[in-house]
Structures are given as C-alpha cells and as structure tokens.
Structure 1
Amino acid sequence: MQSKRQTWFWLVVLLLFFIIISIFGNSQKPKVYPNYVSDSPSPSGVKAFYTYLQKEMEVKSWSYSPKMLPTGPEKKLLIMVEPSVVPDQVEMGEYKRFMEAGNTILLLKNNPKGMFDLQVSPLDSNAPVNKALKVYDQNKKAYRAEINSSIRLLSNKNEERLLYDNNGTVALKQTFGHGQLIVAIAPEWITNGQILSEDHLALILHLLNESNTHTVLFDEYIHAGQNTSTMLNVYPKWFLLILLQIVFLTILWLWYKGKRFGPIFVPREETVRFSDEGIRALTAWYLKGRRYHDSFLIQADYVKLLLQERWKIPFSKEWKDLSPFLERKWLGVPKSDIGPFLNGVATMVEKEKMSKQEFLQWSRKLELLRKEVEEG
C-alpha cells in the first residue's frame, strides 16, 4: 500500500511539473485573425475603418443570418467585405429583401460574379494589375488607387457607374425596390494596411456617402467559414493542457478503482434455472410462514435417513434409543454429550411449535451430525 501511495505522489508531482513548464515556457504567439473582419487589427483586417466610423455614426457588427436583418423604417447600410463564400439562393433572396425594404448594401469583392446577378469582364493580359491607377467618379474627378482585381464590372442602363478607370467600371450602383446595391471590386481599399495609401479612404467615403444613412452594419456572417470558433482557438493552450491532464488523471483513478471498461455481461444466474429452485422456494415459504417446527422435522428425518444409509441405524428407532449406535460411530463428540443431544432432539421433535432461536440452535446441532455422517 505504501509503494502505491508513493507511485501516485510522484505521478502527481510529475504532472504538476509539466503544467508549470507549459505555462511559463509557452511563447506568446501573435493572434491570427481572419481577413476582412471588423475586429482584426492585422493589415488584412478592417478595424481601422470600423473604429473611424464609430466616431461619426452608429456602427455594429452583424454575425447573424441575413433572414434576421432588420427591415424597419430606419434606413441602414450593410457593408460586405470580400465574403469567404458566395451565399446560396435563399440567403441571396434575404439580402435582396433587405434592400427592397429601403436599405443599402455595399459589396466590396474582388470578383462579385455569382452575387446579385452581377456581370463581369476579364481584363486584357496586357492590362496593369496591382499598380496605382487613375480612377474617376461620375463628375470625372480623378483619384489615385491600387486595384488588385483582374476583372471589371459590366454595367447596363439600369445601373449607375460610380467609379471607373481606363479598363472599365470599378464601382456601380443598382436599385432594388426602395433600396440599392453598391458594388466595388477593390476590397483592399478598406483594409488596415492600405486604407491610408493613395486615395483609398476618399474613395471608400465616396461610396459610403451614396447610401445616405447613419447606421452601418459590418456583415461578419459572410466570414463564418474562416472565423468559426473551435475549442482549440477559443481557450488558451495552458488551459487545454491542464484539461488534458485532468482527463488523464481521471482515467488513471477509474482504473485504480477497478471500474469496468467494456461490455456488460449478464450473470449466468439470471438466465439459467437451477435444480434447487424448488428447495429454495420451499425454504423461503417455511421462513416467511414461521413454520420452524415443520422445517426442523424435515431436517431430523433427513438426518435419520442418512444414519440408516451410512451407519446402518434403523430409521424406525426413536432419537432417544440411538445413543448406543452414536457412541460407537460419532467419535468426534464426547460420549457424555451424546445423550443430552439425543434427548434434546427428541424433545424438539415432540413439541408442537418452536421459536426461531430454538430452531437455529438445534438446526446447527443436527447439521454437525449430518456432516459427520456424510463426510466423516
């Protein structure tokens, strides 16, 4: 027992040592953020513009399904920056319903083909990409901007061209019911790393002013695929290590306590009928009915039957007359005790009733004689 305790003590000390080493030895790595999310301070995030808008108007992050977008009388602007996946038809229908109620969606996506029935055209192979270009608004005012997209938007007569360059349409506006959709193919303009480069901030504000609203929602639902929280990135590493060690200690403790792992086997007694069931039932009936005398008579007759079979003592002999026979055969008991024993048995047999204490006392004495006859 002492050795087991020492083993457990040193095991716990070893685990605590590993916990301490993991806590102090774990280097603090910078947190990795998904691209284009409003709480990301990384160069690919949009936290800078999100914080700037908070000082000018009401701004919130929207992480719910588009079917829950508000459609009340207050006009809102929903900013969608480079969705990680294209929404399905049902979700696209919810976004359209949101605009038809009088709200605006600003979609910033490198290639918006497949969303809101937008049409695009690829650039010529000789067209410059990732370079600062001149971009013009409706009033032909020139801006300098970097555009990484290799396509341009195709606009029709029902769409208003907001920004363009020498290669085609860069941003356009389309009407949906009482609301509108604004699309631009340069999501990099709004990122922390490039919003102050060239005229990117001025261009984003130009698109924002087209909505004429004072409540802005940043759509984080479209980044759910790359921003899904799991147990491994929600909790710190030291907490996960402690949790793993607790699970390991629990398994060891269960093993030490002898808990069973595996299938449960049904005991044989529950499916097999034994030959002594009748005897057990009869015994229980005698005990519940307090028929101690009847039970003693059966036991006495059985012992006399054994005396006849093994020691050739006639069954018809009375208990009081068995003294000469038992004195020769029952060698393990003094001769002086045999007479009182036989007289007591005879008295119990002749009685009409027995108490429980008397039954237990004389039943044990008869059992000693039975064992001597059968086993001696």
Structure 2
Amino acid sequence: MIGLLVSVLLFIGIGYMLVKPETKDYQPFLSFSPDSDGIKAIVELAQERGVTTRRWELPPESLPSGSGYTLLIVQPSMLAKPELDAMRSWVEHGNDVLLAASDMEAWDSFQLKEAEQPKGLGSKPANVHMQGKVLSLEATVSTTSRLVAQRELETIYEDERGILGARKHFGEGSFTVLLEPKWLMNSMIIERGHFELVWPLLQDTRRQWLIDEYHHGYTAERGLSAVYPAWLLAAAAQLAIVLLLWLWKRAKRIGPVHTPRAWTVRRGDETLLAVAGWYERRRLRSDALAHSAQRLRQLLYERWGVLPSAPPQEAASIASTRWDAKRAESLLRLLREPQQAQVSAREFAALAREYSEAIVDMEKE
C-alpha cells in the first residue's frame, strides 16, 4: 500500500515538472498585468479607495463625450501630435489626462531638457507638491529628462535636477505629465512603497478612470454609433419606421402564408350553416332563390356575354352548344322559373340544388 502511494506521488510530481504550465509573459505597463513591470497594483489599490476604472481600447478621437473622466496613459508605444491635440480638446470639456512617459516629445508648454546623470544609484529625495504643501519622499529616479519650468506649469514632482512631473490647465480640465512611469509599476508600488508618492496624481475618486491600452496594441471593435454619424443612423431608423408603417397600411402579410385546410373547411361549413339557418328561421326561401338566380344571370353575362335582360332562350341556345341536353334544359327551366312568394321546404331544396349545380357549371366555363 505504501509503495503504491509513493508511486502515485512520484508520477504526479514528475508529470507536474514535465508539463508545468508557463506563466504568461505580459508586455510592460499593462493595467491587467500581475508581472513586476505591470501596473495592476495601482489600479486595484485605486479601486479599493472607491475609484471606478475601465480599460480604454479606442483612439483618442473616440473618447467619451461629457466630463468627469481621467485618462491614464502609461508609457505608450507611440503618441502622435494629432492625438495629443485631440486629447487637449477633450480636456477642455472638463476631463483630465495623466500621461506617464519617459520618452515623450516636446508638446505645447511641456518642453523638455536633459539633466546630468545622477551620482550613485538607489532612492533619492523627491519633492511632492500637494495642496500647497511640499513633501519630501524617497523615490527611484532613472530618467535623465526634465520639464522646463514655465509660468503656465504647476509643478507636482521635482528633485535636485529639475521637474519630473507637472500639470497644465486647459479650459475646465487639466493635462498632467510624469516623466517617471516606473513609479506606477507593481514592483515599485508593492516593494518600494511608491503608492504614497503617486497617489496625489490619482486622489480625485469622483472621476472615472479610463486606463489606456490602445497605445499598447489592444483595440476594441467599434459599434455602429462610433462608425457611422448620428444623422445617418437617425435617418436609417426613420426610414425603417416609415417602411413598417407602409407595410402595415398595405396589409402585407409577414408570417406564414399557409392556412390549414381543416380550418377553412370548418369555417366555410359553419358560415354556410349559419346563413342557411338565418334564411330558414326568417322564412326567406324565395329571397335565397332570387339571390341564386341573380348570381346565375351574372355568371351568364361574365362567361357568355348574355345580358341579364335577355330572354332565357338565348342562354339556352348557347348552353346547347356547350353542354348536354339535360343540363341545357335545366338551365332554361331555372331561367323561366317564376319567383313565388311562398316555397315549400321540398321545392326549395330541389331548386337550390339545381341552382348550385348550374352555378358550379358556369364557374367552370
């Protein structure tokens, strides 16, 4: 028993070592990456403090309308000037942009300069400007770029060699640049306690974060509202409504066109019985025969061109050339039959049968 247990454990251990799943290697600065170079930690910490976050996988031209958003862009692969201009227009409507990039190009009031290489490695003091106060915190700085001080810029981070992060207001929003994106990495947040260092950038929990993944190569499919202009979608919707109303007015059937024969037979029989019962109860047998005679005259006119006022012999002469003598004689008798005020039930049944046979024959012509 012990030998079997040892064999099973050895089999499981060897199998695990042979087919051990490899952890997925994510590219740096992804918001969903748990690697040391991802930024999942800062996103989850912000969520714990009440910030609403979601990934953004569309170009800057498709940013949501309205206000109250903060777009977080961390070390984008490429950021062209037209995209920055689109973000600036979006910011002017009451939104914020936080761009953390060590290799950004000069744009608008964010002019760059190169600083001297630091003496020695490790953490250095960095001044954090927050709500009129200046805090000195330890920070790992690896970039040699610095922002040029200008009156329009609001300094947020600086060290002994210059400005590392600054904010500029456009309209009702602001654009913030941080030249040290590594501060947002999981390794810096968890291992070196840089959360307090970067939290002043993200402390407005009333806004909804849009974590940019578009510039990391992740793109989402656009919906109809993003592909087609609003006026075209509105026109298409109105056209569809007009088409439905036109079909309704024209009484176009939308659905199965086959009607079960059992239903039509039953419906037809019930209708005939109801009409016959109505004539019988009101003693309108002569009226029923008159309707049959009128229908027969109408068919003679439609099929043979015999006028309703023509004598019965005219219709009989034509019938003799098309029908046998018995049917022609029956037709002549029906056309000559005078309309009586009172008809017995037996006479009514016989005449109704003859009229029905003659009408069926005429409908076949």
Q: Under a length normalisation based on structure 2, what TM-score does the superposition of the two structures give?
A: 0.51
- Kindly tell me: are residues 199 and 25 of structure 1, through their superposed partners in 2, closer, same or farther at Cα, counting changes over 3 Å? closer
Alignment of 1:321-336 (within 5 A): none
Alpha-carbon distance in structure 2 between the residues aligned to 1:103 and 1:228 = 22
Alpha-carbon distance in structure 2 between the residues aligned to 1:144 and 1:50 = 22
Which residue in 2 is equivalent to 1:251? none
The AA in structure 1 aligned to 2:92 is E
Alpha-carbon distance in structure 1 between the residues aligned to 2:77 and 2:28 = 9
Which residue in 2 is equivalent to 1:31? 24
Question: Number of matched residues?
Answer: 200
Match of 1:100 among 67, 81, 92: 92
* Runs of 4+ more than 6 Å apart: none
CA contact (8 A) 2:106 2:112 kept: no
Which residue in 1 is equivalent to 2:33? 40
Which residue in 1 is equivalent to 2:54? 60
CA contact (8 A) 2:58 2:219 kept: no
Which residue in 2 is equivalent to 1:194? 188
CA contact (8 A) 2:51 2:206 kept: no
Cα shift readout 1:150-186 (whole Å, capped 9, x = no counterpart): 1111120011111111111111111112110111111
Task: Tell me, yes or no, if structure 1 residue 132 matches structure 2 residue 132.
Answer: no
Which residue in 1 is equivalent to 2:144? 150
The alpha carbon displacement at 1:114 in A equals 3.7
- Kindly tell me: are residues 204 and 107 of structure 1, through their superposed partners in 2, closer, same or farther at Cα, counting changes over 3 Å? same
The alpha carbon displacement at 1:213 in A equals 3.9
CA contact (8 A) 2:73 2:99 kept: yes
Alignment of 1:1-376 (within 5 A): 28-55=21-48, 56-72=50-66, 74-85=67-78, 87-116=79-108, 118-125=110-117, 127-128=118-119, 131-138=122-129, 139-209=133-203, 213-224=206-217
Alpha-carbon distance in structure 1 between the residues aligned to 2:27 and 2:120 = 24
The AA in structure 1 aligned to 2:207 is H
Q: Under a length normalisation based on structure 1, what TM-score does the superposition of the two structures give?
A: 0.50
The alpha carbon displacement at 1:212 in A equals 6.5
Alpha-carbon distance in structure 2 between the residues aligned to 1:220 and 1:118 = 23
The alpha carbon displacement at 1:197 in A equals 4.1
Which residue in 1 is equivalent to 2:357? none
Which residue in 2 is equivalent to 1:301? none
Any unmatched runs of 5+ in structure 1? 1-23, 230-376
CA RMSD of aligned residues (A): 2.3
Alpha-carbon distance in structure 2 between the residues aligned to 1:33 and 1:115 = 30
